[in-house]
Structure 1
Amino acid sequence: MSSNVSRSALLSLPPELRNQIYDLVASDTEQITIRNGTVLPHCFSQVCRQIRNEFGPLFKAMTKQSPPYLSPATIRIQLENFDFNQTVQAIDRCRHDSNTRFEVEIWVTKQLHRSDWEKMWSWVSFCDELAYRKDAYDENILATYEIGQKFGSCNVYAACHEMYIEVVPYILNGNARGGCTSAGYEQIEKMRLALSTAIGN
């Protein structure tokens, strides 16, 4: 009952005040979710139809502003088969730095081959570039990986082998930057570990 009263109080305000409140809610967004390259609607849009119709377009417009307007502390990434190609473009629609947390959820729906691993390079390059935004290079990108699969869809040993073949040139070409492992390579290792532990069990 109390939630209905609160909702009615908000919707009874003049449109100008509601828009100011919507702007405050959007600008204070702590987490956004990017699914297959698309920024998902804000959870506030689920309150009721009117708020979805009024707040939804405003939030969507903010995800397309240049320079970026939103500054979430956490970016949740959901994608299939390690295809990061559209994800990085979506991340660039909000402000982020080496303190931003990335929670990456990957769903594997097929056997992964080298052509699939090529699609992770946009993410690897993004992490390398992000590490250089500080005065001193810091390869510690705050990213975690959770991987699941459609039952029986992927042979993990073959997939990890294909991944290794794909990344060997990256290592040999000096991207480990001498004695310092690159941020991108650190993320590759995290993904390999997550793949072998989650799908291999």
Structure 2
Amino acid sequence: MATAMFQKLRLTKQTSQPSRKDSILPSSPVGPPSAASLLGLPPELRNAIYECLARDTALTLALKPRRSKRPHPICGLLLASKQIYSEFRPLLLASARISIPIADFDFGTVIRAVEAISQDDLRALAANRRFYLTLFMAHAPKQTDLEGLAAWLGYRAEAEQEKDAPPTDQVPLHTLRFRYDAKIDPARSMVSRRNMRVALLTALIRKIAALGGQKNHTVEKRRMMRDLYRCKDELMGVERRADGELEKDIALTASTIDSPFFGFQGSSGVPVGGY
């Protein structure tokens, strides 16, 4: 099921399509492509066109069935022909901005989908540096949310250990580099909704920092915190001049998670965090 969902690439927004009169695709699928058609161009020119289109495309991979009877439109060029599909799809997966929505911090669907997709798709996605997991939240993280986050970070830490394993023909899962952003829709409040969004995002960052304590700052955990800090900066209108400033804030958050002013101690003695 996950494989089928990954095969249905959906556009985030409907893009304007050229009219039939202006289309550069061949008017008839029968016979060899003409010189004026896309398939009539040299392969290097076709790849250049594919890459330009892929970079300007935003895709949403909905891993759960949509309630709406109107699905997102499929990326049209994939439907042009089998040859264009086979040529364009790898470049699309490697270059487009791809987003997977995550509700209630449930990463299970992502794990199942990633483990079920083909090696060719996995290889293309491993080259993508705009592969986002979008976290939806409307309240401060609950205990169940923290459990979902901890399970995901543990899964990614196990994948990271594959770097030391003997090489195989399979694409290692640790080569997938996920990015993170957040869509925050707080409940109605007397205070500014912008301030509430900043407060909820700050709470989430601190909860993530507290997971496992200071000594458990894995690569994925630091990437998640770094990307969410950037979301927070965007909300606050802050523009950082250097990445070093961001790293200092991350280090400061990590160094204060054991502070009594930060939160409270759980039953196991591990700081739970707060804001």
* 1:184–1:42 CA distance, 2 compared to 1 (3 A): same
Distance (whole Å) between structure 1 residues aligned to residue 179 and residue 108 of structure 2 = 18
Tell me the amino acid that sits aligned with residue 124 of structure 1. Answer: L
Q: Is the 8 A contact 1:84 1:119 kept in 2?
A: yes
Determine if the alignment matches structure 1 residue 88 to structure 2 residue 111.
Answer: yes
Determine if the alignment matches structure 1 residue 170 to structure 2 residue 193.
Answer: no
Distance (whole Å) between structure 2 residues aligned to residue 132 and residue 166 of structure 1 = 21
User: Alignment partner for residue 134 of structure 2, among 106, 121, 138?
Assistant: 106
Distance (whole Å) between structure 1 residues aligned to residue 92 and residue 158 of structure 2 = 18
User: Alignment partner for residue 8 of structure 1, among 3, 24, 27?
Assistant: 27
CA root-mean-square deviation: 4.7
The percent of aligned pairs where both chains have the same amino acid is 12
TM-score normalised by length of structure 1: 0.52
- What secondary structure sits across from 1:171 in the alignment? coil
Distance (whole Å) between structure 2 residues aligned to residue 167 and residue 44 of structure 1 = 42
Distance (whole Å) between structure 1 residues aligned to residue 159 and residue 127 of structure 2 = 10
Q: Is the 8 A contact 2:141 2:203 kept in 1?
A: no
- Count of equivalent residues: 163
Distance (whole Å) between structure 2 residues aligned to residue 195 and residue 162 of structure 1 = 12
Matched with 1:120 is 149
**Larger RCO (CA within 8 A; separation ≥ 6):** 1
Structure 1 position 193, deviation (Å): 0.7
TM-score normalised by length of structure 2: 0.41
Structure 1 position 36, deviation (Å): 3.8
Distance (whole Å) between structure 2 residues aligned to residue 46 and residue 38 of structure 1 = 23
* 1:169–1:80 CA distance, 2 compared to 1 (3 A): closer
Matched with 1:134 is 163
**Map of 1:33-52 to 2, 5 A cutoff?**
33-37=59-63, 41-45=74-78
Structure 1 position 189, deviation (Å): 1.6
- What secondary structure sits across from 1:193 in the alignment? helix
Matched with 2:180 is 145
Note the alpha carbon deviations across 1:154-195, whole angstroms, 9 max, x for none. 5432443255235424235x434xxxxx21222232243134
